[in-house]
Structure 1
Amino acid sequence: MWKKRAARMLYFYMVIFLILAGRLVQIQLWEPESFSSHHINLLEESVRQRSQELVIDDGRGRILDRKGESMTHEDLSVLILFPFLKNASWPVEKVANAVGVEENEILQAVKQAKAPFALGEPKPLSLTSSQVQLINSLKIPGVFAVEKKFEKQDAVAKQLIGVLGENETELSKRYPDRSLPLRTQIGISGLEVSFDEILVAERKSQLVYHVDGSGSPLFGTKVKYTGITNPFYPASIKTTIDLDIQKQAEQLVDKHGIKKGGLILLDISTNSILATVSRPNVNDKDPFKGNGMVNLMLKEQIMGSVFKTAVAAAAIDYGLDGEERLYDCSRTIDGRPDQVYQHGLLGFSDSFAMSCNNTFASLAKELMEIDPNILEEYAEKLSLTGGVGWRGHVFQIANFSQLPDEEKGRVFISDEERNDRNYVALSGIGQKEVRATPLAVANMMATIARGGEKEMVRAVSEITYKNGAVMYTFPENKLNGEQLSSGTAKELGQLLREVVVNENGTGRWFSELPYEVAGKSGTAETGRFKNGKQLHNKWFAGYFPYRNPRFALVTVNLDVYGHEGGVNPLFADMVTFLSELNDQAN
């Protein structure tokens, strides 16, 4: 009996031994770098447990403004201290004198440290080049002066740039043929994701110090540097953003109380984004909380009277812009007395300047009778639909898009609407299903300013190697499709200027600005209500200086009550700022 029991016990222990041996083989030989369903890198974890590491550069490529200044990070020379110093005897007074702080401040920081750190974090003490040389000349183990990469606390254009995150499944899916550390950060939104393949880190630079279980030095006091030695990588992208203009734009958007909306500013000559602001802003503590990650400048919005610009273009080309014809601008589009506006009889130009709904509803219906597709054709000619962000062939990517989150805009959603006079009348004043992104509206203004030439909008101008050499330049690409004639564009420009100079024009607010402005206002009913009151989208879109156009600007305030504004003073302050900036440059 006892022999059978012993045999069963022996058999049981042999099974356990074989299971453990198999598990050991799995860990040591088969899956040391991707263990379990969580794909844990046991080699990395093993090294991490017996070392103290300080990452000085995560290895990801930089995102730069048009002048080459980093938009997301800054490199600072800082004092690095290792926690084993708390148990060592070292000349702290020399270090304190070198960096200009009290000895006790350094000792307290070391005492509280559990990992290597930069003195003063999260606002690290920045050292001069002479201080760096002095610190390193002391050759104190565990004390270093190095250049370290820090995230900017006042980063701007957050929705355009996007956010990063760790996602092992997505990392493997995105880069199946590349051996990247499982904790590599990848782009989740914005330029970070569209340019992720360029920016993604191959490895990081760090200081590594091997320690025992108590945190004491394991192999003497030598700190090892592991880092990037390739002079070409990581590559960076140079955006078209002007950091000085961007910062001012963000301050002005907040100053004028834009809670949902923002602005977008284009350089007309290169058709590039100089500044873009979207509110609400990204929540730094939790980017996925709320709607801050959504770039509203790339999302289609109800346009309101801004769309009258496209109707006007069609009217000009089809000979419906005669000034001898008068429209009753004291009536609504269905012929009833207007309870708000009593403009009387107006011609075509005055109707545009004062944004008469009855005029453009009537013109839209007449154009529909000529061809039901006319409004959509002219929306496309003015780049309001179809998408305007830069796209094209880059390296092996046939249809690369700089702004993949951009929506395309529309006028109608069905043939029924396209052929219904009531729908067409409402569409003619930018209501019903008429949508466009603020980016597309800004590009419409730039298109008119260029005499009808349609171009793609760039957010990035170059990809550069680490040493600054240019890897790739994004050319100024034309947009496909028909465009306005130069004559029609010129007449549209005159109408847009009349909006500002006409004493009753909806843009008279801008008549005394340092730059001559041409533009169009818009107030759209959204169909959404708050506290029983209708919400509106408020717009002003234009370009300046009128006679020598340089900038196209759109300001927009979304889902606000009818009496709320913000877009006009915001537009005016941006024009004034750009004029002053030009004066300083000259």
Structure 2
Amino acid sequence: MDRRISARLVQVLLVFAIAFGTIELRMAWIQLRAGRQHSVPTLERSAALQRSDSLELDTGRALFLDRTGASLTGETVKALAVYPAGGMPRGTEPSVERLAAILKQDKGKLEAWMNGLRAADVWRAADGKRAYALTDEQAKEIGKLRLAGVVVLPYRNRYPAQTALSALHAIGYVSQNPERMRSLYGEALTKRKLRLSDSIGGAGLELSLDRWIQGVGRTEAIVVTDAARRPLKGLGLRIHGPDNLHYPLQVRTTIDSRIQEAAQTVMEKHGIKQGAVVVLDADNADVLAMLSYPSYDPNHIGLEGTDESNHALIAVPPGSIFKTVTLAAALEAGVTDLSERFRCQGHYGRYGLKCWREKGHGVITLEEAYAESCNVVFAALAERLHPAALQKTADRLGIGRQVGWHADDFLNGGPLRLLQEEQAGTVFESVDAGKDGGVRTGTGIGQRDVRVTPLQAANLAVTLLHQGRVLAPRIVSELRYADGDVLTKLPSQASPSAYGAIQPKTASILRHAMRSVVLEGTAEHTLGDAKRPLAGKSGTAELGGAKSSHNDHWFIGYGPAEGQARYAVAVLIENQRAGSRNRASELFGEIMERLLEPPAKKTPSSGK
């Protein structure tokens, strides 16, 4: 009997246990379901909802320096950085008002910007691109405000404020180009070393060196937040960047900021709107200055009235400066010599070709014809020549082909041409076309199909100074690590022609003829009284098509013309109304005067 009672008690207790267990399970399920429906976070869910806001302070891209080590890119400033506040108030009204006062901005505009942020950003300068540069006093005052999500950070503007040197076409610009990023850096994108939104070189050295100057990673300022984008207390702000003292690289260019600024001052003084200036070191053809107009802002590509194309590398009609090639070809082929006399009556008699001097030059020597830029004489010389002679002589002088510094395999990364946009130019559209007498005579005076870049034109003067040896203009001398160690040097190099070189005697005759241009020729009135002896050749190129009522004005030359020459310069003024005075020689003279002026002597201290 007792055993039966005990068994029943066990059964009853078991039923109660199952019932209570079922109830507990049901309650747990209801709580769990309710929790999901009402988004009550668990610890795990809270951790999962944490995120971070990051702000890129520096892309890690290499910095460009001039030949003295002065910075051309990479201006680091104290910037106002603001992170999204997730709806939290930034601070007290007086604090926000004070921030607006420090920045000299409208409070409403500033608040609207801060409250509208969906990602961390910096307060921008008026151009909307560069970070606004805070003074030390402004940065100190902002730090005292203790506004939520507001901090002063070091930020690197890729391009400095618009100055005489901030829009170097030769340096170029960077821009976003996802399609090109995919084609060039697919593997790096897969490994997440790069992002499609990262900037890539778009022109100039930024483009040609892009593979080597990308860097090893960006520097970011990171803030950890909760799901509502509110900064989590205690986690603070962390600066994260590549732990490599070798980067970012430094690209040492051959640009001389003093010379660049001097040339730009002259161009702006004369109000030149379209054209180019190239200044080369006469000793080794290094590019000391390269200007292109219209100018542009690398922070705003495509603005109306600007042009990011580098006119120093674009081939255009050279006009009479090409008579230097024609004279060299005639001397080398033996179809004339210095003893020959010519008669110019103002017209050639065929092909409708006329001399610029309506009544002609009368009887003149070969050198006088060059100094006076006689079209009739140079048309006659060209017609005596086989077109191949003109073509090959141009090639021997570095005309009609790319001459800028290049390497077939640079740092095991493939070929490199520093001035990638350099156009080769032309002499004849085809050799067969040159067999036509009218085409050949037009070519002899620098018209028809002839196209030359200002870089090639300046380098032509360097070639003559080196007895006919063509050098390759160089615009980068070395790449260095951030700690100063040399990664690689880019030595000066020649750019020999497949057809050899002109004779040193021919080069000497051409230099003497260029001096005659200044002493008794077309540039006598502008350069004859120059403080330092100069030599060169002027040119006026007639434009065809829609620009037939306009000309391009040229002057190429070197100085000083006695003793050791220091600079070779090409000046191009484009799109000038036909009949207007050629000012290129005048600008050449002013640029050379600034370059050859000895540096001012420092006044000794009196000791008082």
Give the TM-score range, shorter chain: 0.7 to 0.9
- 1:557 counterpart residue number: 573
For the pair 1:170 / 2:156, whether they are aligned, the reply is: no
Pick from 512, 516, 525 the counterpart of residue 529 of structure 2: 512
For the pair 1:485 / 2:503, whether they are aligned, the reply is: yes
Q: Deviations over 1:276-295 (max 9, x none)?
A: 11122236534387771221
Contact 2:354 2:375 in 1 (8 A): no
The structural deviation recorded for 1:104 is 9.3
Q: Distance in 1 between matches of 2:453 and 2:175?
A: 27
SS of aligned partner of 2:383: helix
The residue type paired with residue 124 of structure 1 is Y
For the pair 1:579 / 2:587, whether they are aligned, the reply is: no
Contact 1:141 1:221 in 2 (8 A): no
Pick from 156, 161, 178 the counterpart of residue 171 of structure 2: 161
- 2:17 counterpart residue number: none
CA 1:337–1:445 in 2, change beyond 3 Å: closer, same or farther? closer
Q: Distance in 1 between matches of 2:374 and 2:596?
A: 32
TM-score (norm 2): 0.78
Contact 1:524 1:536 in 2 (8 A): yes
- 2:67 counterpart residue number: 66
Larger radius of gyration: 2
Q: Distance in 2 between matches of 1:287 and 1:452?
A: 41
CA 1:131–1:361 in 2, change beyond 3 Å: closer, same or farther? same
Q: Deviations over 1:20-48 (max 9, x none)?
A: xxxxxxxxxxxxxxxxxxxxxxxxxx99x
The residue type paired with residue 317 of structure 1 is E
The residue type paired with residue 451 of structure 2 is R
- 1:353 counterpart residue number: 371
Which range moved further: 114-123 or 488-497? Answer: 114-123
SS of aligned partner of 1:306: helix
Q: Distance in 2 between matches of 1:407 and 1:210?
A: 51
Pick from 403, 419, 429 the counterpart of residue 413 of structure 1: 429
- 1:234 counterpart residue number: 248
SS of aligned partner of 1:540: strand
SS of aligned partner of 2:508: helix
CA 1:110–1:297 in 2, change beyond 3 Å: closer, same or farther? closer
Q: Which runs of 5+ in 2 are unaligned?
A: 1-47, 604-608
5 Å matches for 1:283-322? 284-287=299-302, 292-322=307-337
Q: Distance in 1 between matches of 2:264 and 2:469?
A: 30
The structural deviation recorded for 1:221 is 5.9
Q: Deviations over 1:161-208 (max 9, x none)?
A: 222222223212101222312211111222111111112244321212
SS of aligned partner of 1:316: helix
For the pair 1:568 / 2:576, whether they are aligned, the reply is: no
Pick from 329, 346, 366 the counterpart of residue 384 of structure 2: 366
CA 1:104–1:585 in 2, change beyond 3 Å: closer, same or farther? closer
The residue type paired with residue 493 of structure 1 is R
Q: Distance in 2 between matches of 1:269 and 1:227?
A: 42
CA 1:50–1:570 in 2, change beyond 3 Å: closer, same or farther? farther
**Matched residue count:** 530
SS of aligned partner of 2:494: coil
Q: Deviations over 1:127-163 (max 9, x none)?
A: 45x9989998999985655432123121534432222
CA 1:90–1:235 in 2, change beyond 3 Å: closer, same or farther? farther
- 2:404 counterpart residue number: 389
Q: Deviations over 1:443-464 (max 9, x none)?
A: 1011112222211111211112
Q: Distance in 1 between matches of 2:74 and 2:602?
A: 27
The structural deviation recorded for 1:226 is 1.4
Q: Deviations over 1:390-433 (max 9, x none)?
A: 11131224532112221112211223322222222221111111
Sequence identity of aligned pairs in percent?
28
Contact 2:396 2:496 in 1 (8 A): no
TM-score (norm 1): 0.81
For the pair 1:541 / 2:556, whether they are aligned, the reply is: yes
Q: Distance in 1 between matches of 2:104 and 2:468?
A: 68
- 2:35 counterpart residue number: none
For the pair 1:379 / 2:382, whether they are aligned, the reply is: no
For the pair 1:148 / 2:166, whether they are aligned, the reply is: no
Q: Distance in 2 between matches of 1:169 and 1:416?
A: 41
- 1:473 counterpart residue number: 489
Contact 1:272 1:459 in 2 (8 A): yes
- 1:27 counterpart residue number: none
The structural deviation recorded for 1:321 is 5.0
SS of aligned partner of 1:492: helix
For the pair 1:87 / 2:95, whether they are aligned, the reply is: no
Contact 1:78 1:118 in 2 (8 A): yes
SS of aligned partner of 2:57: strand
Which range moved further: 377-386 or 439-448? Answer: 377-386
Contact 1:299 1:437 in 2 (8 A): yes
For the pair 1:252 / 2:252, whether they are aligned, the reply is: no
SS of aligned partner of 2:424: coil
SS of aligned partner of 1:177: helix
- 2:132 counterpart residue number: 124
Q: Distance in 1 between matches of 2:51 and 2:470?
A: 60
User: Over aligned residues, Cα RMSD in angstroms?
Assistant: 3.5
Misfit runs of 4+, over 6 Å: 89-93, 103-110, 130-141, 288-291
SS of aligned partner of 1:435: coil
Pick from 524, 542, 547 the counterpart of residue 525 of structure 1: 542
Which range moved further: 118-127 or 160-169? Answer: 118-127
The structural deviation recorded for 1:117 is 5.8
The structural deviation recorded for 1:582 is 4.4
The structural deviation recorded for 1:234 is 2.8
Contact 2:53 2:222 in 1 (8 A): yes
Pick from 214, 221, 226 the counterpart of residue 207 of structure 1: 221
SS of aligned partner of 2:538: strand
The residue type paired with residue 358 of structure 1 is V
CA 1:351–1:81 in 2, change beyond 3 Å: closer, same or farther? same
- 1:460 counterpart residue number: 476
Which range moved further: 332-341 or 426-435? Answer: 332-341
- 2:442 counterpart residue number: 426
Q: Distance in 2 between matches of 1:541 and 1:476?
A: 22
Contact 2:315 2:454 in 1 (8 A): yes
